[in-house]
Amino acid sequence: MVPTGYAPWYQDPWDQWLRPVPGHRLDHDRVFILYAVLAGLLIGLLSGGSASRLGDLKIAWAPLIALGMAVQLVLFSSPIGDALGPAAPAVYVISNAVVLVAVARNLAIPGMVLVLLGGASNLVAIVANGGYMPVSHDALVAIGRGAREGYTNNVQSENVVLMPLTDLFAMPVWVPMANIFSVGDVLIGVGAAIVVVAAMHGRGPMRERSTTTSSAPSAKAAVPAPDAGGASPH
């Protein structure tokens, strides 16, 4: 008997009421962000922005974001996720929380508020469902995917909590790497596109570009100016 209030990943894995069915291993958040960044680049270029300004954007606590994403990459693309067993969902939740903390530190960047709201929406749904993001069976069928073996962040379950926040939608099958997504993913995608466009136009916390000036005197400055009155008469 599990004490009331414990997260589902600590409960009996054979409990059919809580046991999820693996969905797919491809992390849908990364796919959505990829398309959002590409859309932001296109909009930024068409609106007169410069892609070179992206490198000037100052992102606070960037190592935390990289750490959280690296942990998730390892979870879903290596045997480590399977090896962690019941602890894997907890690690997944913590990695998402780490990324959100860093995102919250960068709200001065245009678009980051939407990224934070979207990420928080996904995290709430994941925590409420025991460390997994429930996925609609109809959405999986729409993109031609079924259950796969191994640890995955998505599950199919008959007992979904906060269903409107879960993965209910599917990209068109003709889209490369078509995947499923949630309302939170839409907010993250729109926010990421705004971040890219704003940075390309120099908006937000940007690094100042150093201007190189020549220290050598100009040739004209070295030549004395002629006497306007000419030579003195004797």
C-alpha–C-alpha distance, residues 185 and 29, integer Å: 6
**What are 78's two structure tokens?**
């290596």
Q: Rounded to two decimals, what is the model's pTM?
A: 0.77
Burial class of 218 by CB neighbour count within 10 A (0 to 12, 13 to 18, 19+) = exposed
pLDDT in tens, 19-52: 343 434 445 567 788 999 999 999 999 999 999 9
Please report the beta strands in the chain, taking only residues with DSSP state E, as ranges in sequence order: 21-22, 133-134, 154-156, 169-170, 180-181
C-alpha–C-alpha distance, residues 193 and 164, integer Å: 23
Judged by DSSP in three states, 206 sits in strand
**What are 87's two structure tokens?**
């602890």
Say if CB 171 and CB 23 are below 8 A apart. Answer: no
Q: Enter the DSSP assignment of 57.
A: B
**Mean of all residue pLDDT scores within the chain:** 81
C-alpha–C-alpha distance, residues 211 and 157, integer Å: 58
pLDDT in tens, 109-166: 999 999 999 999 999 999 999 999 999 888 888 888 765 555 677 778 778 999 999 9
Residue written as tokens 């269903």? 163
